Chain A
Amino acid sequence: MIKNSIGEIESQVLWNRLISVVEEQAQTLIRTAFSTAAREAGDISAGVFDRRGRMVAQAVTGTPGHVNSMARAVGHFLDEFPIDTLKPGDALITNDPWKGTGHLFDLTVVTPTFHRGKAVALFACTTHVVDIGGIGQSPAGKQVFHEGLQIPIMHLAREGRMNEDLLRIVRANVREPVQVAGDIYGLAACNDTGSARLVEMMQEFDLADLEELSDIIITRSRQAMADAIAKLPRGSWTSCMTIDGFEAPVELVGTLTIESDIIRVDYTGTSGISSFAINCPLCYTDAYTAFGVKCAVAPWIPNNAGTLDSVVVTAPENCIVNALHPAAVYSRSIIGHMLPDIIFGCLDQALPETMPAEGTSSLWNLSLVAAHGLTGRADEIRTPFNVTTFHSGGAGARPRIDGLSATPFPSGVRNVPVEVTESITPVVIWRKELRVDSGGAGKFRGGLGQVMEVSNREGSPMGIYHRFERVRFAPRGRAGGKDGALGRLRLQSGKELSEKGFYVVPAGDRLIVEMPGGGGYGAPTERERDLVQRDVDYGFITASEAEQIYGLKKS
């Protein structure tokens, strides 16, 4: 075997190996994580970078929000600490929303890998921690300063010694100090796992550095993206969508331009920033835009610097998808999750009959709390708790098949079992079922939302941080398909709640959460009659909807 240059077969084997190394790094992180966002939803990221800070391989994890943001983060770390100033045993950390992955809850750790006395690569990983201090999980923060502790890019460890000063500050500022510190150790440890595996690989294949392999992987991926883009029609298309927003509706406007080997997305025309925490830093906008493009254009190409460079995202400063410091950004996912719908709206014009209808898109997580000062005084609350369970409405119908019911898109989270939530809190979930007539009617029906009914069995008040979307503006159908049903939030006793804020459910009452359905695709009258009848028999639609909207004749 020739050793000075990497052969074709060898480079393919090494590429596979690198992907397996970062998957291992990611699994280690998920299995040791504390916050539900990380451990149930896989809201983490892991990847390996070359000396120049280019991402060579990334694990496919639960949520695409880190796809591009973490990839770019390593560049910011290297700007502050050039690679040859780093020593074995060093690790760097930040939670800067603009240099990391979009909000203070995400901690990113970067660790150099040394081989034959030289830094040959960097491992980076990100996880969503349980708490970061400040106003907590509320979307009502006005400035990033309200949202908790800010850690600028700095050393987490120097030559194997943890930065105890930093850890003490972290412990003093967060509500769950042991768990957060545990997650920080987990981040450092999973990078070490990745580094060890990489060094083993380099020894086995007698590689002095990663540069040649990194060039091969990035060049080939870049070329594959270019080839995929070259097959698309050239041109420019604009799509807009109105969503609920916080203090006022938000207009999202995107213009997608297909050039010879690159896709540009520009968000000029989008609403300005909010006074509340639904603002989105550009790195996070970049991540969900790239994800939407990749799903539509080239889902099979592994993520790395080569693929990510094929999508160029721009937005005017201080519009809601390019919010600048000191805007509050905690709930940036509300905006980010909507962006693939904008991409699909543009591509539907370029490539008709290939893009799904709009879906619920934003998650319908229930963040429930009973705590001093929030739901009552300490002496009135029997069991304090603070829990987030992940749930989703319906996804949009696809051009050939129905939308997925109660399934997230673009996020890739999974739910938390009802029995698990109830075993760690006094919460009782009385009902969790598919919501009839919520899927947008169409030749292909939108996915159904779901209904949940929740109470506190201890007869005490229970708070909910609500950060919901599609309550005032529905997910739209496509190609003649009808809109999905609007979401709705109310009390059993009758009161209707707004879609965002913090509300205390009175003792003894129940919260009823009705999640939106996905938009339909194609005219409902074109739906196969057998399927309409099946939907009636299954209780997915009512007989009256079948008759009035689908035009099903009574048999």
Chain B
Amino acid sequence: MSKTSIRLAVDIGGTFTDLVLHLGEHFVSSKVLTTQDAPERGVLEGAQLVLKQAGISPADLDLVVHGTTLATNALIERKGARTALVTTQGFRDSLEIAYEHRFEQYDIYMERPEPLVPRPLRFEVPERVAADGTVLLELDESAVERLADRLVQEGVQAVAVCFLHSYQNHAHEQRAREIIARRIPSSVIAISSEVCPEIREYERTSTTVANAYVLPVMESYLRRLEQGFRDLGSTAPLLLIMSSGGITTIDTARRFPIRLVESGPAGGAVMALTVAAQNGIDKALSFDMGGTTAKITLIDDLRPQQSRHFEIARAARFVKGSGIPVRIPVIDMVEIGAGGGSIARTDLLGRITVGPDSAGSMPGPAAYGRGGTMPTVTDADLLLGWLDPKGFAGGHIDLSPDASRKAIDETISAKIGLDHDRSAYGITELVTETMASAARVHAVENGKDMAGRTMIAFGGAAPLHAARLAQKIGVSRVLIPVGAGVGSAHGFLQAPISYEVVRTRVMSLREYVPTAVAELFASMRTEAESVVRVGAPSAELHEERIAYMRYRGQGHEVRVPVPPAALESGGSDALHQAFEAVYQALYGRTIPRLDVEAVSWTLSLAERRRLPERDEPPAKQPAPMPQGKRALLDPCSGVEVQAALYARDLLKPGAPVPGPAVITEAETSTLVPSGFVAAINRAGHIVIERTA
């Protein structure tokens, strides 16, 4: 990818499809409505639009990078394929029994989500592999043959095959696929030893089933999209962004569409990463707050936190354990039901609660005047003077403070006996506190702290709440990047081609054989390279090896980077030290004399991408003249102040804007509270720093 190449990024969201066309130094962007029935139509229309704006012919496109929530939506809305599960005799209910767990401790009416495959489509075949990979019972091939006929009769469109311990020995799964593929195309058969070769049968089955469930939908969509670009005259490769923040080829995307869920937010994190590089930020916190949710990711040394746990379609309250678990490489982010549209109420103890449900865009906050009567965070922002009633969301919506006041009076003030300003302040304080708590717990769970971080805030609602959130979590510097509204799509174009492979091999460090581990990684490298090389035939590659380790007897593993010395003779000491360093950082102590074991191993391979050079800070300029003044409630002191107003595009780099102030732009407003000072840097990002 040379610097002058013409690259298009497309991010399909629930309401809008964002498009960004990069032309070397500058870019053209656009938003079109998402066409739910055939998403490729919106993509192709939007593509033609931005190409026309830029005066570029489709044939000149060098690359298209695409992210879509299509797979996620199919899972949330249960609109995937008619899927069958083929599993070990005795285990067809594993998918339904799940964790044998109630995720709502006190709710006697709790319900678990229905499994994606109903019981009559869950089939068993005689076979059994033991935990060490030995075969206890041979696969009954004739049973599989009979089953294949049955699957055709049942009209299934996709098949998931998941046998016990197939992460150790995949022979039975592969043989079953061969047999079933005589009757059903192998392109719609997903086997667990390929999708998710990891121990823990429920999670592996759930991941494999979810993958099969979205296979046909994604397969046909990607085919239509590819054809559509070809019809426009483009021969540019089409790549897809994954939840890990890497991109992959269309062939891999077709086989493992489950890896594409949550790609939009991943793009946002990649954008934050690029901004961090450009500004020399070693410890960053990416804060993305939109209309419905807020997402927080930690980025250390230009690497976002990675994880292999993700849950799709959690029940309404974002409760852990209430969704469909999938084990795929993801950027580890904490998602909170807190956005501009989040609804505020009081509970029976007279406490203000905010979210997790959102008024969305229809009816939207009360201030939109579209029939919403419940107060939202945006309503509170408006009443506190943080938002200009005119020209919200790029001038598309005029806000009504009267409607906001009425909603807050009726729902909050009347219940707890505070005036509407204090009530509005309560809403913003509590939603910020909720995000701060989530961020703190997330940091602790990952053995990180907040001190010395810079927050990179984007999404429509983030710039208003970022400084106060930063203060609450002890962060003293906030950066609001340019073009925060289409951040995810920008991120797509900065993502590297990459792929992650996982294997489970339970291995005690007492019986550790470095050569065996080296061989394991070598075979993983071969698999990863076969995928990465399709998209990046000659790029320099970067390899990251991770072991998931624990003290023998524990039930949770920690993620340990494997040092090169671990693969050489006597390597167990090196791996032991690496484990203890991680354990110490996470939990503040290690435990002497206890055996340590590795459970799973991952290898991720990515092209080495060129990150932007670090920008020098701009020269100091005299303070600019404000365009006006507005009374607002200062979030940090809790008192009313006169805030200076500035237009972002009129600010010169280096000119200090002391708080309290509001910096406005088409898509959003940035609130600089008292005790903070803001300035634009060379790249045009707003940098807010704490002074008190």
Q: Which residues of A contact B (CB under 8 A)?
A: 1, 8-9, 12-13, 15-17, 20, 23-24, 27-28, 30-34, 36, 39-40, 60, 64, 130, 176, 178-179, 181-182, 185-186, 189, 192-193, 197, 220-221, 224, 227-228, 291, 294-296, 298-301, 356, 390-392, 398, 400-401, 404-409, 412-420, 422-423, 428, 430-434, 450, 453, 457, 537-540
Contacts and interface: CB of A to CB of B under 8 A. Distances in A.
B202 A178 contact: no
A407 B506 contact: no
A108 B592 CA distance: 22
10 contacts: A9-B426, A27-B444, A178-B592, A186-B587, A192-B588, A221-B349, A391-B100, A409-B108, A418-B201, A419-B199
Contacts of B351: 12, 15
Interface stretch (B64-72, B213-221, B393-401, B434-442): B434-442
Interface string B192-207: 0000000111110000
B470 interface: no
Given A8-B418, A182-B594, A423-B506, A300 B91 contact: no
A202 B99 CA distance: 39
A224 B203 CA distance: 40
B551 interface: yes
A415 B440 CA distance: 29
Interface string B579-605: 000000011110111100000000000
Query: Top 3 A-B pairs ranked by shortest CB distance?
Result: A431-B90, A299-B106, A20-B437
B101 A415 contact: yes
B553 A34 contact: yes
B555 A433 contact: no
Nearest to B428: A9
Given A20-B441, A408-B102, A398 B109 contact: yes
B350 A220 contact: yes
Interface string B103-119: 00111111110000011
Contacts of B108: 295-296, 299, 356, 398, 409
Contacts of B444: 24, 27-28, 193
A417 B200 contact: yes
Contact of B556 (A39, A299, A356, A450): A39
B251 interface: no
Interface stretch (B128-136, B480-488, B659-667): B128-136
Contacts of A433: 90-93
A9 B441 contact: no
B128 A8 contact: no
Contacts of A415: 97, 99-101
B168 to A, nearest CB: 9
Contact of A39 (B89, B92, B347, B555): B555
Contacts of A432: 90-91, 93-94, 97
A467 B131 CA distance: 27
B652 interface: no
A199 to B, nearest CB: 13
Contact of B441 (A1, A23, A33, A294): A23
A414 B100 contact: yes
A420 B199 contact: yes
A400 B109 contact: yes
Interface in B417-433: 418, 422, 425-426, 429-430, 433
B120 interface: yes
B589 A178 contact: no
A27 B591 CA distance: 18
Nearest to B89: A431
Contacts of A9: 352, 418, 422, 425-426, 429-430
A8 B131 contact: no
A413 B92 CA distance: 22
A189 B553 contact: no
A412 B102 contact: yes
Interface residues of B, number: 70
A182 B93 contact: no
Nearest to B588: A189
Contacts of B348: 224, 227-228, 298, 300-301
A224 B347 CA distance: 10
B301 interface: no
B545 interface: no
Given A28-B587, A228-B348, A539-B119, A453 B93 contact: no
A420 B588 contact: no
B2 interface: no
Contacts of A404: 102, 110-112
A412 B101 contact: yes
A408 B426 contact: no
B106 A294 contact: yes
A419 B90 contact: no
A9 B106 CA distance: 27
B426 A407 contact: no
B96 A405 contact: yes
Nearest to B137: A430
B94 to A, nearest CB: 7
Contacts of B425: 9
B90 A453 contact: yes
A405 B203 CA distance: 19
A398 B112 CA distance: 14
Nearest to B204: A419
B554 interface: yes
A28 B105 CA distance: 20
B334 to A, nearest CB: 12
B638 interface: yes
B56 interface: no
A432 B348 CA distance: 43
Contacts of A27: 441, 444-445
B506 A392 contact: no
Contacts of A227: 348
A136 to B, nearest CB: 16
Contact of A457 (B99, B102, B136, B350): B136
Given A405-B96, A407-B100, A176 B638 contact: no
Of listed B94, B99, B100, residue having the most chain A CB within 10 A: B100
Contact of B202 (A13, A228, A408, A417): A417
Nearest to A535: B119
A136 B136 CA distance: 32
B637 interface: yes
Contacts of A420: 199-200, 555
Contacts of B551: 34, 182
A16 B433 contact: yes
B483 to A, nearest CB: 33
A276 to B, nearest CB: 27
Contacts of B106: 291, 294-295, 299-300
A17 B433 contact: yes
Given A419-B164, A433-B93, A538-B119, A16 B100 contact: no
Given A27-B441, A130-B553, A406 B201 contact: no
A9 B428 CA distance: 10
A162 B342 CA distance: 48
A20 B91 contact: no
B182 to A, nearest CB: 28
B416 interface: yes
A407 B93 CA distance: 13
B553 A179 contact: yes
B165 interface: yes
Contacts of B445: 27, 31
Contacts of A197: 440
Contacts of A417: 199-203
B599 to A, nearest CB: 9
A413 B591 CA distance: 26
Contacts of A39: 554-556
B96 A434 contact: yes
A12 B647 CA distance: 36
Interface string B273-284: 000000000000
A519 B130 CA distance: 36
A113 to B, nearest CB: 17
Contacts of A412: 101-102, 105
